Amino acid sequence: MNDPQSPPESPLDRFINAAGFNPRDWTAHMNANGHSGFIGMQYRDHGDIWIELGFDWREDLVGDPDTGVLASGPIISLLDNATSMSVWTRVGRFSPQVTLDLRIDYTRAATPGKSIVARAECYQVRRSMAFVRGIAHDGDITDPVAHAAGIFMLVDGQEWVK
Distance CA 27, CA 37 (A): 9
- Sign (positive or negative) of CA dihedral 30, 36, 42, 47: negative
Distance CA 71, CA 112 (A): 11
Q: Is 101 helix (H, G, I), strand (E, B) or coil?
A: strand
User: What tens digit of pLDDT does each residue of 92-144 get?
Assistant: 988 889 999 999 999 999 999 999 999 999 999 999 999 999 999 999 999 99
> Across the chain, where does the E strand assignment appear?
16-17, 20-21, 42-46, 50-55, 62-64, 69-70, 97-106, 116-126, 129-137, 146-154
Q: Residue 8 has what pLDDT? A: 42
Higher local confidence (pLDDT), 67 or 30: 67
Helix 72-91 / helix 23-31 crossing angle, nearest 10 deg: 140
Q: What is the CA radius of gyration of the chain?
A: 17
Q: Residue 36 has what pLDDT? A: 85
**Domains, the chain, ordered by start:** 16-161 (3.10.129.10)
User: What tens digit of pLDDT does each residue of 63-91 get?
Assistant: 999 999 999 999 999 999 999 999 999 99
Residue 2 in this model has a pLDDT that exceeds 50: no
Q: Residue 160 has what pLDDT? A: 45
pTM for the complete prediction?
0.84
Distance CA 116, CA 57 (A): 7
**Window from 24-38, 60-74, 136-150 with minimum mean pLDDT:** 24-38
Give yes or no for a contact between 117 and 138, defined as CB atoms under 8 angstroms apart. yes
